[in-house]
Chain A
C-alpha cells in the first residue's frame, strides 16, 4: 500500500521525493503498481522461489529439491524474457539468460516486486526498459535504534533433507552516517527425498492395473557459501549511493530426470560447481531544481564446472566442462523536469560479456551491448502517461574458420504506459510494449548445437488493468487488482536437427499467442495487538502454439492460483498458503500421453519474535507441502513431499 501512495505522488512535487523514493527502493514511483511482497511476508517463506510463485501470472519452473534449478516465467513468455534486478542492476548471464532463483537469498531483502510489463519510475537505467517483465529484489538498508551503531544477527536453520544453514551478519553505522552490512551464510544438505512413481490404467477388459512404487531421489546434495558486503551512503537529500560485493560458491549433485534404468546403475553421478562473484554500485544525485542523475556499474565473474560421469562404466573417468563468464556493465541516466507536468529520462548502458569454455572447437564469443533510451513522462490531472523508446545494439565477436568474425543485431523497443486515476479508490492503467530477447551464447555458439543466423525473439505485450480499493476504513482494507493481457511471441528460438543427427540448428520458427488475466483480492484487518490478512490470487493463461498443433504451450497451465491467510498477535505470526496449478502438457500436442497432472500444495509457517533485554529472538517453523502431495512441475523431476525447516535467529542491537 505504501507503494501505491508513493506512486500517486504527482511529478510536480516529486523532486526530493523521487530521490528519497529511489534511495528507499528502485521500484518506488512507478506508474504501474507492481505485485509486491514485503519483508514481513517474506518472513514466512523459505526461499525466493516460494515467494515469487505467490505472484499472479507467474510460473516457477522448479526441478525439485534444495539444489534443483528454479527459474521464473511471466505470462507465458519464457524465462529469458524476465529480467531479475538486484537493487536496480540486472543479474544476467549471456550464456543462457537464465537466473536460478534458488541461488538468491531472501536475507537482507526488504521487498520482492514483480512488474508484469513495463516499469516506468524515475531515473531508471536503460536495461530496466528492456525485459518483457522484471523481478525486483531490494536490499534492506540497515536501521539502527537510537544511539546504537552495531547490530549483530546470528541464526541457524535445520530441517528436512539433513539441511543445516547457519548465517551471521553485522551491521555498523559509521560516524559520518554511512553504514555497512557484512553477512555470510552457508547451506549444507544431502537433499535426498522419497517420491512415488505411479501409473494406473485400464486393461482392455476394463479392469484397473498399474504400479505405485517409492523411490529415493539421490545425488542431490548441496553445499554452498555466500558472503556479501554492502556499503550504504549517509542519509542526504542530495545524493545517495551504495556498493555491494558478493560471492557465492557451491557444489551440488545433479540428480537428473527420473527414468527407467537397469538396477545396478545409478541414474546420475554428475556434479556441478559454481563460483560467482560480483561487485556493483549505484549513485544518485540531484543537480539543481530540474535535474537528477544516476550512475551504476557492475563487474561479475561466473565459473561453472560441469562434471559428467560415465555411470555405466565403473571407475571410468568423467568428462569436465568449464564455462567462465566475464561481464562488465556501466550505466548513466539523467532525469530532467522540463515542465511541472513533463519530465524526461535519458539513459545509456553498456555491457561487455565474454564466455570462455574448454569445449572442442569453441567459438570464445564476446558481446558488446549498448542500450540507449529516452523516456518521457507527463501528467495532467489524474492522467499519467509515459512513452519510451529503447535502442539495443549488440555486437558479437567469435572465432570462426577464418579467425575472429563478428555479427551485429539491433532492435528498437518502444513502449507506452498510461494510468488514469478515475477516483480516489479506482485506478485504471495499461501498457503496450515491444521487447526482444537476444539469442544467447548457448543458442549461437554451443559447439554441439549448431546455428544459423538467428534473429532476436520478438515479444509484443498489451495490458489493461485496474486497481480498486473497495474498503479502507479503520483498520480494515480490501482491495482488488485485475489485469487482462495479450502477448504475442514471434521468431521463437527453437532447436531443430540438421541432416547430420549430431548437429542441431537453431531456427526462428516458433509463434505463440497468449491471452490471459491476473486477478488478486487482498483483505487485511488490524485490531489491537493483532491482525489478519487474506490474499487470493488467480491466473488464467491461454497460451497457444500457433506454429504447430495449436495447443497450449508446454508447462503453462490454463488455471493457477493461490490463497494465503495470515494472522499475527503479540509477536506470533501464522501463515497458511495453498497453491494450486491445473493440468499442463509437455508438448503443444495436448494429447493425454503428454499430460502432467494438476497439483495443489499446502504450506504453513509459524513464527514468534521475543525481546530479551533489548535484543530480539525470533523462532520460525516452516512446514512445506503439509499434505505430502506427490507432483511434478517439470516432467520426470519429482518434487519433494512434506518437508520442514526450523530457524532460530538472535539479533543483538
Chain B
C-alpha cells in the first residue's frame, strides 16, 4: 500500500540506440536452457530482457530474458548467473534500462539500483538509492527519480533526483523536485522529471526541469495532473503521460463510481523551445507506454475509461507530426492479453511485446506482429512489466 509499485517505463530510445549493435561474443548465459516458446530467428537483437516487478515486499522480483537465437525463454536469469548474491535482485523492480552494454535495474522496494553486464547478467555494482523509481542517462551520469522517504498518509515530502557517476557507480549529487517524482528523460541540456504527487490530497501537475550542467532545478512546466511516464524523442521534446484526475464515490448499491474531471492523456512539451510548449495529444489513454527507435510512441490504455467501459487499445503516436493511429485489442490475437502492464516494440520488424500481469499468479510475455498476430508467449515471473531489447 505504501509505495504502490507501479507500472512501466522504458528509456527505450537510449536502450535501442545502445542495443543496436548485436554482440557476437558468446555469453556465459548461453548454457541457461529455459523453455522453448518460439522458433529461433536472426535479427538486430540477441535478447529481450524482462523485469518482473514481483509483489510488494515479497522479494520476488526477477530478471528473465527471451533469447532470439533459439527462441528460448529463460526465467530468473539473474539468480542463475549470480547465485551467491543474497536475496537476488530484491524487491519490486520499477525500471529497467540499457546503457553502454550495462543493464540497469531500479529496485524500488529494496532501495537499490543494480548494474549488470548485459552480455551475461553478472552483477557489476549495487548502488543504494532510497525509494528509486525511474532512470535516465547522459554520457557521464545516471539520473534516478526517488520518493525520498515519503509515505502515503504521512507528511508531504518532496521527491529527489539522485545522480550516479557512471565511472565510479556512486551517488554524487541530489536535487529536490516535486512530490513523488516518476518518469525522467533527457532532452537537450535538461533533465525533465514528471511529478505525480500521488500521495498528496491534491496531485502535482508539473514537470521539473533540471539543468544538467549545474544539476539545479531551473524551472517547471505545468502539464497535467498526476504525471507518470516520460520519453524523449531526440528532437528536443519530451512526451509525458498523465493519469488525469478522477474522484471515486460509492453509489447506493456500494459500487465505486469513477468520474474523471480531467482525462488521462499524453502531452508533448519543451522548456527551451521558442515558444515554450505544452501540447496535448488527443484521445490517447496511457496505462503503459514505450518509445521506439522507429520514431513512434506505442501505448496501451482503456479507450472507454471515461464511460466506464473496458476496451484496451493500442496507440501509435508519431513523434514527428503527433498523428495517432489506434487499434482495439479485441478482435485481434492480442485480446488474449488480460492486463497489459508493459510494452516494448522492436524497430525493424515492428514486433510488439506486451507484458501481461496476473495478480494471483505469474504473468506472461506476449509477442505479436505489428498487425497484432500472435507469434509466441511465455510464462514470466510475478508482474512482468519492464522490457528492453539487447
- Measured CB to CB, the closest approach of chain A to B200, in angstroms, equals 11
Q: Are A450 and B151 in contact (CB under 8 A)?
A: no
Residue of A nearest to B152 (CB): A319
Considering the complex, which residues of chain A in the window 385-403 have a beta carbon less than 8 Å from any beta carbon of chain B? 396, 398, 400-402
B57 touching A316, Cβ below 8 Å:
no
- Are B151 and A587 in contact (CB-based, < 8 A)? no
Q: Are A499 and B111 in contact (CB under 8 A)?
A: no
6 A/B residue pairs, CB under 8 Å, sorted by A: A262-B110, A400-B252, A405-B254, A450-B256, A548-B360, A593-B60
Residues 82-106 of chain B: 1 if any A CB is under 8 Å from the residue's CB, otherwise 0?
0111111111000000000000000
Pairs A-B, 5 closest by C-beta atoms: A313-B149, A204-B31, A260-B90, A401-B249, A319-B153
Give complex CA distance A213, B339 in Å: 37
Interface string of B243-285 (1 = CB under 8 A from A): 1001011111111111000000000000000000000000000
Nearest A residue (CB) for B2: A308
CA gap between A448 and B248 in the complex, in Å: 10
CB distance from B382 to the nearest CB of A (A): 8
User: With contacts A259-B87, A451-B254 known, what are 10 further pairs, Cβ within 8 A?
Assistant: A257-B58, A259-B59, A260-B107, A262-B111, A311-B149, A316-B155, A396-B254, A398-B254, A402-B251, A500-B246
Chain A residue with Cβ nearest B250: A400
Closest to A404 in B: B252
Pick from B73-81, B207-215, B217-225, B289-297 the stretch touching chain A: B73-81
B83 touches A209 (CB 8 A): yes
Is B154's CB within 8 Å of the partner chain A?
yes
Q: Does A452 contact B (CB under 8 A)?
A: yes
In the complex, what distance in Å separates the CA atom of A406 from the CA atom of B253? Answer: 7
| CB of B128 closer than 8 Å to a CB of A | yes
Cβ contacts under 8 Å, A199 to chain B: 79, 83, 88
Q: Do residues A505 and B256 form an inter-chain contact, with CB atoms below 8 A?
A: yes
Instruction: Digitize B227-255: 1 where CB-to-A-CB distance is under 8 Å, 0 elsewhere.
Output: 00000000000000001001011111111
Which residues of B are found within 8 Å of A264, using beta-carbon distances? 128
CB atoms of A316 and B149 under 8 A apart: yes
Question: Is A37 among interface residues, defined by CB-CB distance under 8 A?
Answer: no
Chain B residues lying within 8 Å of A448, measured Cβ to Cβ, are 1, 152
Tell me which residues across on chain A come within 8 A of B305, comparing CB atoms: 499
| A312 lies within 8 A of B359 (CB) | no
CB neighbours (8 Å) of B111 from chain A are 261-262, 265, 312
Q: Kindly name the residue among A197, A201, A262, A405 whose own CB sees the greatest number of chain B CB atoms within 10 A.
A: A262
Q: A197-B87, A398-B254, A405-B251 are in contact. Are A312 and B130 (CB under 8 A)?
A: yes
Contact indicator B4/A499 (Cβ below 8 Å): no
Is B381 positioned at the interface, with any CB of A under 8 Å from its CB? yes
Residue B124 at the chain A interface, CB threshold 8 Å: no
Binds B, one of A57-65, A112-120, A156-164, A490-498: A490-498
In the complex, which of the residues A452, A502, A505 contacts B4, with contact meaning CB atoms closer than 8 Å?
A502
Q: How far is the CA of A318 from the CA of B6 in the complex (A)?
A: 23
Give which listed residue, B79, B201, B256, contacts A452 with CB less than 8 A.
B256
B374 at interface (Cβ–Cβ under 8 A)?
A: no
Taken residue by residue from 194 to 221, chain A's Cβ proximity to chain B (1 for < 8 Å, 0 otherwise) reads as 0001011101110001110100000000
B84 adjacent to A210 (CB under 8 Å): yes
Query: B residues 292-320 with Cβ under 8 Å of A?
Result: 301-302, 305, 310
Interchain CA distance A374-B109 in the complex, whole Å? 53
Q: Does A476 contact B (CB under 8 A)?
A: no
| Residue A145 interfacial (CB < 8 Å) | no
**A500, B6: Cα distance in complex, Å:** 10
Q: How does the 8 Å CB contact mask read for A487-523 relative to B, with 1 for contact and 0 for none?
A: 0000000111111111101000000000000000000
Interface string of A341-379 (1 = CB under 8 A from B): 000000000000000000011010000000000000000
Chain A residues with CB under 8 Å of B379's CB are 589, 591
A447-505 at interface with B (beta carbon < 8 Å): 448, 450-454, 494-503, 505
The answer to whether A144 has its CB under 8 Å from any CB of chain B is: no
Tell yes or no: B358 within 8 A of A by CB. Answer: yes
A444: which of B254, B301, B310 is its contact (CB, 8 Å)? B254
Residues on A with C-beta less than 8 A from B339 are 497
Give the residues in chain A near B9, CB-CB below 8 Å.
none
Closest to B92 in A: A259
The verdict on B198 contacting chain A, using a C-beta distance below 8 Å, is yes
Q: Which of B31, B148, B151, B248 contacts A205 (CB 8 A)?
A: B31
A274 contacts partner chain B, Cβ-Cβ < 8 Å = no
A-B contact count, CB below 8 Å? 197
Task: State A488–B142 Cα separation when bound (angstroms).
Answer: 53
Contacting pair B256 A593 (CB below 8 A): no
Give chain A interface residues in 195-252, CB to chain B under 8 Å: 197, 199-201, 203-205, 209-211, 213
Contact flag A211-B86 (CB < 8 Å), given A204-B32, A308-B153, A400-B249 = yes
**Which listed residue, B32, B76, B258, touches A593 by the CB 8 Å rule?**
B76
- Least CB distance from A504 to B in Å reads 8
Residues of A within 8 A of B29 (CB): 204
Inside 8 A of B110's CB, which chain A residues have their CB? 259-262
**Chain A residue with the shortest CB-CB distance to B127:** A262
- The CA-CA distance from A451 to B201 in the complex, in Å, is 21
Cβ of A317 within 8 Å of any chain B Cβ, yes or no, is yes
Q: Are A453 and B86 closer than 8 Å at their CB atoms? A: no
Indicate if the CB atoms of B302 and A499 lie closer than 8 Å.
yes
Interface flag for B137 (CB, 8 Å): no
- Which of A363, A405, A500 neighbours the largest number of chain B CB atoms within 10 Å of its CB? A500
Partner pick for B360 among A260, A263, A503, A588, CB 8 A cutoff? A588
Interface string of B350-366 (1 = CB under 8 A from A): 00000000111110000
Cβ–Cβ contact B151 & A591, under 8 A: no
Q: Please, which residues of chain B bring their CB within 8 A of the CB of A496?
A: 359
Residues of A within 8 Å of B361, CB to CB, are: 548-549, 587-589
Whether B131 sits at the interface, judged by CB under 8 Å, is yes
**Distance A450 CA – B201 CA, assembled complex (angstroms):** 17
Contact A260 B91, CB 8 Å, known A310-B150, A502-B4, A636-B58:
yes
Q: For residue A402, which residues in chain B have a CB less than 8 angstroms away from its CB?
A: 251-252
Q: Is the C-beta of B7 less than 8 angstroms from some C-beta in chain A?
A: yes
- Chain B residues contacting A451 (CB-CB under 8 Å) are 250, 254-256
Q: Which residues of B contact A636 (CB under 8 A)?
A: 57-59
Bound Cα distance A586, B29 (Å):
28
Contact A209 B84 (CB under 8 A): yes
Most-contacted residue by chain A among B57, B109, B361 (CB, 10 A): B361
How far in angstroms is the closest Cβ of chain A from B237?
A: 26
Question: What CA separation (Å) do A260 and B368 show in the bound complex?
Answer: 35
- A549 vs B360: C-alpha distance when bound (angstroms): 10
- B7 contacts across to A, CB distance below 8 A: 501
Are B250 and A263 neighbours in the complex by a CB distance under 8 Å? Answer: no
Which chain B residue has the least Cβ–Cβ distance from A503? B248
Q: For the complex, is B390 an interface residue (Cβ under 8 Å from A)?
A: no
Residue contact B79 to A201, C-beta cutoff 8 Å: yes
Q: How far is the CB of A418 from chain B (nearest CB, A)?
A: 38
Q: Does A258 contact B (CB under 8 A)?
A: yes
